Amino acid sequence: MSVAPGHRLLLGGRLSGMSERASTPSRLPWLRAPTGAELGRQVGAVLADLPLFLTAPLYRRRHLCWGAEPSEVAAALPGDELCPGASFRATRAISIAAPPEQVWPWLVQVGAGRGGWYSDDLLDNLARPSATEVREDLQHLEVGGWVPMSPWGTPTERTAFRVEAFDAPRWLLWAKPDSSWVWRLSPLPDGGTRLVTRVRARYDWSRPLTALFGVVLLELGDFAMQRRMLRGIRTRAERLAAG
């Protein structure tokens, strides 16, 4: 089912008609606080990623296509048109031993104060552990719904993505001013999934502080955290598929 702006869909349900963009985000009050052991692992993960953060500009050309085949990098994806003249373009991929239907729910529940980001929780989820199970209360997917990047306050177009469009369980597109983020799930002959993700962003130097923050976040932090996120999705989906 392909859904573009103006429609809403309940995952696993039926199309329910036209809708204005959602105004109320579906968020958990808070994910649970980490145990001491979990916090220790989170600190260890950040320390392990620190060299990648610091040296990312040195191998930028390679990490912008981490895991992706040349054909995947060259392929058109939904949302490419949303950010013309992008300063940052990254296409990355991973193969998962689980069908798209068992990968999709992990993407639907992404977000701060929701299922988390399956990455460096210490940095992007205030140390609250990302979900390790599919949360049915977070499986409502709606065009215009928020994907919060910050657990504080009401989401805005500067602190969150919005669901721009989706075709469950084939692709999911998030967007906000000056950037887009798309996920494509393709079935593999062995029953698994090829998960390809693309981030496109434009640095708006009319807002110097915002642009500088974007440069630091994307040019230094994006690769290590997105690689960990892709691996986190793979681990969770394969565990779900194994029963």
Look at residue 13 in the predicted model and tell me its pLDDT: 31
Look at residue 79 in the predicted model and tell me its pLDDT: 97
235 in a structural domain: yes
180 in a structural domain: yes
- The mean pLDDT values, 10 residues at a time, for the chain of 243 residues are 44 31 44 87 95 95 98 98 95 99 98 94 91 95 95 88 98 97 99 99 91 93 98 98 90
69 in a structural domain: yes
Look at residue 31 in the predicted model and tell me its pLDDT: 63
Residues 6+ positions from 151 with CB-CB distance below 8 Å: 30, 112, 113, 125, 126, 128
Look at residue 90 in the predicted model and tell me its pLDDT: 99
200 in a structural domain: yes
210 in a structural domain: yes
CATH of the domain at 181: 3.30.530.20
Number of C-beta neighbours around residue 238 at 10 A: 16
Both tokens of 124, joined, read 């992007």
Tell me the pTM: 0.86
Angle between helices 100-108 and 222-242 (to 10 degrees): 130
H or E segment to which residue 187 belongs: strand 179-187
40 in a structural domain: yes
Look at residue 11 in the predicted model and tell me its pLDDT: 34
Count of domains forming the chain: 1
Domain of 198? Answer: 2-10+35-242
- Which class for 75: exposed (0-12), middle (13-18), buried (19 or more C-beta within 10 A)? middle
Distance CA 192, CA 202 (A): 33
